[in-house]
A and B are shown apart, each in its own frame.
Chain A
């Protein structure tokens, strides 16, 4: 078994594709070298990231795979699935091998796996953009904590930049210690161990109470359907949705 160990980034994947085609090695797996555990039944080949090589592969991928292929591969890398790197690599490999856009070939396992992983990340981004709860600080900054399955903070922040206009906000992925900060004009994403020092605005408690009241009033108590609530609003996403707390 051959395993490519790479830097967990799109450039890492592109360099792995470069090595695969130039050295004619097709790996069985692609893994992040940071989390890689050597195995006795496998040969691991460490690929170092080289931006010039990555750029060449990127051009070829654009050429054969269409304008959104790199975007989709980046989305795939945000997935929490164990095989996300392999899936993105295989998809890029198939595109370059066939010199065609393979997005439609959904009956091929490589394509359907890749498409499924991408869809799962995009789906989470979509639902979480509804489930995020901001609180207003006394300085007028909106702050939201959450812990998504996939690493979607970078996807979410632009959505809220467009939506909230010039209102500054912070989105904090507590699970990964990742934070996206917007001053109302641009976004900066980084890692942090610190929880922001948050003092709520004067209005915050009242609005939170009204929201809780609203949530209870709009529910039709005579028609409970908790299974359906669980299905559309999985419990892990309710951690910061205080209206659902008992």
Chain B
């Protein structure tokens, strides 16, 4: 094909679309490829979309974007088999503009967002798989698609092809992710009438809540389960490190069934109708796993660049932020007509200086630590449950004696020093 573009974006998820949007807005000639029938057709996430990074691209997007519910309450459940200790925050300031964050269904949201990029002038080509980057003289100069007459050329190629990023792997930017660098998440969308959702989760119409679950729901494997409310459905899922699953020999969908049937969860789902089931990897290796993300004529953004904060389940926002920063760099590079790795590297620098790089750095050892010290999930959460159970059971035992017994049982396994070490270690990686 003879036509040449300024930029080719591969993948119309949050990262690619954010990038294409900014580039097209600045007047660049952009073509974006998506292998799905339409953007979002196969994309999944738990469903929390963060306002801030979206707003930086489209101000007041909540007035027109297909959102489910603004989140007014975030709950955290520390679960044992038949009990839980809970914590949370509910604030009605989050129910008003400008809101805090929203639940979304990606199939609708991605399609809308990509359409916005098209309105800015980006060309969206669906149902087309990019099979390889075209490399000439150690420079990426275009891509090869699976279509007849399917080569297309550009000054820069943006790889926004998601966690597996076969294209970045082909370029030698990263190897196959190790099982402890990725989480395998399975989730289901369950249909429920809105009145039931509002009753069961104590919400007004137009309010939503998120529940993060730890402990028994992952059978002690490092990971979390989640339950988020949409308008007329809930998203329920569980994600654990692939290495943990392999070690425990548990099938991911069996784990999801376990979560759905947990006595603390089951009543909330009563009478649902399953709508959709999906499994997806999440890049959770953090800072230490970020691969090479810049080359001559090429940059990598979003999940493909391993930009997920597993502790705060932030991924889509980092994807958007990285897409936007890549666009800004490309726009500058174009002014001097220099698309070398050297020039494009200012994207990486910008990214690492931003909240994306800083947050990933802050938590760089967290998942690793928890993976290597399973006592946090396996022992402390049940312990916490027992402690709370004992403390709140009125059985005539003086409270002081209860406290003593709790303390004794807590230090029984690891000793006082061990517990202190564990606490210090946890504080160090989270601080």
Our verdict on whether A and B bind, yes or no, reads: no
B interface, CB within 8 angstroms of A: none
A interface, CB within 8 angstroms of B: none
